[in-house]
Amino acid sequence: MRQRACFNKDAAIIHHVSFPFSSVIAAVAAALSPPTRTPAGLRQTSKMTRLPIAASALLLASASAFAPVSLTAQTGTSLPLRMSTISADETFASEDAKKQIGNDAFLNTNLMQRAMSGPAKKNQEKLKIGIVGAGLAGMVAAMDLADAGHDVEMFELRPYVGGKVSSWIDKDGNHIEMGLHVFFGCYYNLFGIMKRTGSFDYALRVKEHVHTFVNDGGKLGALDFRFPIGAPVSGLQAFFKTEQLEVEDKFHNAVRLGTSPIVRALFDFDGGMDMVRDLDDITFTEWFTQLGGSRGSLDRMWDPIAYALGFVDCDHISARCMLTIFMLFAIRTEASVLRMLEGSPQTYLHDPIIQYLEDRNVKINLSTGCRDLVHEVDDQGRPTRVTGITVGPKDEVKEFDVVVAALDVPGIRKVLPENFRKYPIFDNIYKLDTVPIATVQVRFDGWVTELEDETRMMDVAGDQSDGKGGGIDNLLYSADAEFSCFADLALTSPTEYYKEGEGSLIQAVFDERAFDRSNDQIVQDCIDQLNKLFPSSRKLKCTWSSVVKLGQSLYREKPGQDKLRPRQATPVENFFLAGSYTYQDYLDSMEGATRSGLMVADEIVARADGPNGLKAKSAAAKAAKEEAVLA
């Protein structure tokens, strides 16, 4: 297993070495030699013998400024390191939940085994648990709680499961999605869940280890992580060698990355990660331009990445959010590897989970939203415990020992009664901002991303399934379009998205810049912008299109939001929260949702048994209620 630092930091001492700035310039210059290119415009891995030396020189030239006191030869003492912006010991009852937060959680590949194996124990007491929301977080929580021996029932407002990862089939047999879903190699918890349901080995397609940018006129740039040496060198050379930036911007970009927390993390991950946590109150642009980063780098490379992560640009996204991802890319070779599903999320992600739940007698009620939380209050009007929920058009009351609200930000706001806001943890949810997105799917009569061979672009004859069509089989970014990221699903996920006799099915995600336009206008704008990126595609015709709008999608990763995210356990003793917006050391993503589902289950399992456990408290509350009625 790869170590989380370049050496054993407990046994080694880094001596403070002073490098002149000319060494940095020389290192960067050596790293800027132009790459070789294939006829298709994608980079090849060549013998870059100078590159590891250049990258190392740049790192060493920068590292002295960030080497923590505990790692220098000037003192033998160490400074205490924070594990998280939330103290695990104060807020989590479960040891397994604690493992999902703090610096170690980013590098702990054992989390995959935890997700794959299920909860650490089976409870002695059996709880009746209601879960509001059948998105990824809710379903993962249900898996663990059912395996821990509890009676679980789920309630979902929509006629399908999946939440923000939902997909469904329209009347003509087309698979419709709510977003473009990409699986990074550091999705350890989600991969564990997929292994547990048996879908991991057949559901995912691994892509080339390249993040490709498509610019106007079909010019390609890339972050090419393919390299004989793994992280951090593979990541450093990808940024140093990218053709997405001009030489001057590449120089400024290299200098800024060389003076970032990422450098410290290579020698002292805890110290580097603590630096990143402290950057949640400024934007990435503010951080990047403080010590040499250029506007050109932001516009041409970082903005498309920021839009792909959180649907906002670098001027508005938290520096913590961006640097968290880059930290993972720098430390873990596999973190930047991309996978995509064989087909729709419903078939390849949700259906195996549903089967797992049904095998354990979990009941999933679709088209049955929660309308209210039935709860008791203290003499100040604050909620003390939730006794049940009202669901459906007839406001049927369902009683439970425990209720989990596994919802997104707009969903939890609709469910929470007003008096819950008397507690800061709930009131802070209303301070979280969200971003709107529009997911566009456009099918063509040829292969849009085929840049080199016009005959191949027009050829849709015969069986071109299993990714045999023309074009680029990978996630794509662009600085010259309004969609943050896009892909040809007929190539990347062909089992359900390829149709014989037809070509590309482009799926693109538009951010708030285009959200208020009509669906027809968004489709036309998508086609027009694709034609600019791939000029030869002007000869192709659109044969089908779809637009799905989410007015309040992810929570907005702007500065200052991280401290507002609620933990899974709440002041209401039997009411819990789950969802990717809740506190866990990851972004609002599929992995974040999975983590939150595992954490909420761990918290319930840890609290279920004993004389002061959730079951005992539920029984006592029911007995007191019955006694009050008799009195």
Say how far apart CA 172 and CA 270 lie, in whole Å. Answer: 52
Per the CB < 8 A criterion, the answer to whether 401 and 618 are in contact is yes
CA-nearest of 67, 66, 65, 106 to 83 is 106
Per the CB < 8 A criterion, the answer to whether 598 and 114 are in contact is yes
Per the CB < 8 A criterion, the answer to whether 107 and 188 are in contact is no
Residue 521: alpha-carbon gap to chain centroid: 29
Task: Convert the pLDDT of each residue in 29-47 to its tens digit.
Answer: 444 444 444 434 343 334 3
Task: Convert the pLDDT of each residue in 192-214 to its tens digit.
Answer: 999 999 999 999 999 999 999 99
Task: Convert the pLDDT of each residue in 516-572 to its tens digit.
Answer: 999 999 999 999 999 999 999 999 999 999 999 998 878 899 999 999 999 999 999
The sign one gets for the Cα dihedral 312, 318, 323, 328 is: negative
Query: Which H/E stretch holds residue 364?
Result: strand 363-365
Distance in Å from the first CA to the final CA of the chain: 65
Neighbours of 40 (CB within 10 A): 12
Say how far apart CA 264 and CA 28 lie, in whole Å. Answer: 18
Query: Which H/E stretch holds residue 338?
Result: strand 338-341
Question: Tokens for 163?
Answer: 């939440």
Say how far apart CA 325 and CA 417 lie, in whole Å. Answer: 36
* pLDDT higher than 50, residue 629: yes
* pLDDT higher than 70, residue 284: yes
* pLDDT higher than 80, residue 144: yes
Record the pTM. 0.87
The residues near 247 (Cβ < 8 Å, ≥ 6 apart) are: 32
The pLDDT of 168-174, averaged and rounded, is: 94
Q: Which residues pair with 577 in a beta bridge?
A: 405
Say how far apart CA 145 and CA 156 lie, in whole Å. Answer: 18
Say how far apart CA 143 and CA 597 lie, in whole Å. Answer: 9
Say how far apart CA 450 and CA 434 lie, in whole Å. Answer: 36
Task: Convert the pLDDT of each residue in 373-426 to its tens digit.
Answer: 999 999 999 999 999 999 988 899 999 999 999 999 999 999 999 999 999 999
What residue ranges define each of the domains in the chain, with the CATH number in brackets?
Answer: 21-80+208-336 (no CATH), 126-166+346-432+556-627 (3.50.50.60), 436-550 (3.30.9)
Say how far apart CA 582 and CA 381 lie, in whole Å. Answer: 25
